[in-house]
Amino acid sequence: MAETIFRKAKSFYDIYERKGGANKEVTHYCPGCGHGILHKLIAEAMDDFGLKEHTVFISPVGCSVFAYYYFDCGNIQAPHGRAPAVATGMKRANPKSVVISYQGDGDLAGIGGNEILQAANRGERISVFFVNNAIYGMTGGQMAPTTLLGMRTTTSPHGRKAGNEGYPLGMCELLSTLKAPAYVERVALTDAKHIMQARKAVRKALKAQVDGKGFTFVEALAACPTNWKVPTREANRWIVEMLEPVFPVKLFKDEIESRESEALEDRTYGPADVVAALDLPTEEPDIAFVRSPQAIKDPQIKVAGFGGQGVLLLGLALAQAGMRAGYHATWLPSYGPEMRGGTANCHVRISEHRIGTPLVHDSDVLIAFNGPSIDKFAPMVKPGGLILYDSSLVDRTIERSDVKAYGLPFTEVADKELGNGKASNFVAMGAFIVASRGVFDEGVVKSILPLVIKRKNMIELNERAVAAGMRIARDALAS
Ligand SMILES: Cc1ncc(C[n+]2csc(CCOP(=O)(O)OP(=O)(O)O)c2C)c(N)n1
Ligand code: SF4
Ligand SMILES: [Mg+2]
């Protein structure tokens, strides 16, 4: 009996190990889905041009979110239409790499509409493959910017109406009006003839990138029989009869030949380059720090107060000191509109063990600089935990008897003793050293101050603040 042998591109993994479910040799796409066809065309082009080893494939949100299950190359997943921004960073950092931004219509034209517009307008030297199936496939068929007029989706149950939801958005039409893009083409993943055209377009886009010719964009009209609720065998006809009249298959712009080839520099980076780029000290000071057996174990810390009180900086300093003392450490700032005047907080974890998440929910330690922070976070301190709060500003009493709470005048000490109220955060740092029974010591904190204090003339002030904080904490703990 004759045997049919399908060749799988080498740029695909042989077995899709990362994919869930039993069958690791097939993709998760529905029968008849356009994503699989476009994946194949891209993988084959990567094989034929020898690109696998230096391609970075950026997948979106949408059904193709899991493209990294399949492509055996560098993979990054950048949700919510941000793939062109991530691609920009990747390509600029390593111009010689081939960077692919692969996106659906919800992701590219809807959620991240501005990202693609700006990347195209900058002429980033990336290749964007845009799968237009006129619907949000992954989430069960909501209306996309490319949904056709009259088309029923879960969010346009009576059919899209121009007066209500606007007109189907032509991304090729839009992007080809820009000066920067070198190549913009729309293809259709329907019959053999059109798939061969799509194959050509994919190759052209990738080749142009390899040759340093600028931004390339290929839109592929693709079937989503599942959410169109069209039988698979009719889906291609649906593309031809319904999609193509609105989204004509054609070459919108091709300036590849006339563009100058830009030399693509080959760059690689090691840890030393990162240190140099961040302007960090190359050698760590020799710290004679010995961990205290009495110290709070693996503290999860929340620092909270008004924006502008140095709350986030204190959190960063705690994490840096933790690292310098040889622990694992994380710092998660909570930015918001509150940065100036409202409340700000950050999560810090310091641990002898690797840290699974930087989030702190119930904390071992709360360092609070205002009343609202006490109201919000004191109830979340674990029984047996520690609360240090600025008694100069907090007019609350801590009602809990199952935690140790110390009200210390951080701001008053900074203001009156050091002549600068802004140093209250490092007064609190001193108090933490003492009240945590030596998670790290003063020497460790001194050594990280140059890393976290930008103005060098403020370092000495903050050293004195740490010493003052230690003093007032010792007095409070002794009484
Ligand atoms: C901010 C945000 N909004 C919505 C979602 C839900 N979501 C997941 S995929 C997706 C869009 C998928 O549509 P499309 O980009 O067209 O991809 P397809 O599945 O059709 O290939 C959305 C809205 C989300 N994850 N995050
Ligand atoms: S839901 Fe649609 S886009 Fe998603 S895998 Fe199925 S056919 Fe493809
Ligand atoms: Mg879609």
**Cβ–ligand 2 contact at 29 (below 6 Å):** yes
CA-nearest residue, atom 25 of ligand 1: 61
Best mutation site among 61, 66, 133, 154 for ligand 1 pocket (most ligand atoms within 8 Å of CB)? 61
Domains and CATH numbers, the chain: 34-254 (3.40.50.970), 282-478 (3.40.920.10)
**Cβ–ligand 1 contact at 220 (below 6 Å):** no
Contact status, residue 406 vs residue 412, Cβ threshold 8 Å: no
CA-nearest residue, atom 6 of ligand 2: 30
**Cβ–ligand 2 contact at 222 (below 6 Å):** no
318 phi/psi in degrees, rounded to 5 = -60, -45
CA of 160 to the centre of ligand 2 (A): 20
CA-nearest residue, atom 2 of ligand 2: 224
Structure-token pair, residue 360: 């702190």
**Cβ–ligand 2 contact at 224 (below 6 Å):** yes
**Cβ–ligand 1 contact at 62 (below 6 Å):** yes
- Edge to edge, the sheet with strand 127-132 lists 74-77, 55-59, 98-104, 127-132, 216-221, 183-188, 251-254
**Cβ–ligand 1 contact at 310 (below 6 Å):** no
**Cβ–ligand 2 contact at 71 (below 6 Å):** no
Q: What is the pLDDT along the chain (479 residues), one digit of tens a residue?
A: 556 667 899 999 999 999 988 899 999 999 999 999 999 999 999 999 999 999 999 999 999 999 999 999 999 999 999 999 999 999 999 999 999 999 999 999 999 999 999 999 999 999 999 999 999 999 999 999 999 999 999 999 999 999 999 999 999 999 999 999 999 999 999 999 999 999 999 999 999 999 999 999 999 999 999 999 999 999 999 999 999 999 999 999 999 999 999 888 888 888 888 888 877 777 777 788 888 999 999 999 999 998 889 999 999 999 999 999 999 999 999 866 544 556 789 999 999 999 999 999 999 999 999 999 999 999 999 999 999 999 999 998 898 999 999 999 999 999 999 999 999 999 999 999 999 999 999 999 999 999 999 899 999 999 999 999 999 999 999 98
Enumerate residues with CB within 5 Å of ligand 3 (an ion): 104-105, 133, 137
**Cβ–ligand 2 contact at 226 (below 6 Å):** yes
Contact status, residue 333 vs residue 396, Cβ threshold 8 Å: no
Q: ∠ CA 72-74-75 to the nearest 5 degrees?
A: 95
Starting from the CA of residue 30, give the closest ligand: 2
**Cβ–ligand 1 contact at 171 (below 6 Å):** no
**Cβ–ligand 1 contact at 106 (below 6 Å):** yes
Between CA 168 and CA 431 the distance in angstroms is 61
Q: Which atom of ligand 1 is nearest to the CA of 131?
A: 21
CA of 130 to the centre of ligand 2 (A): 14
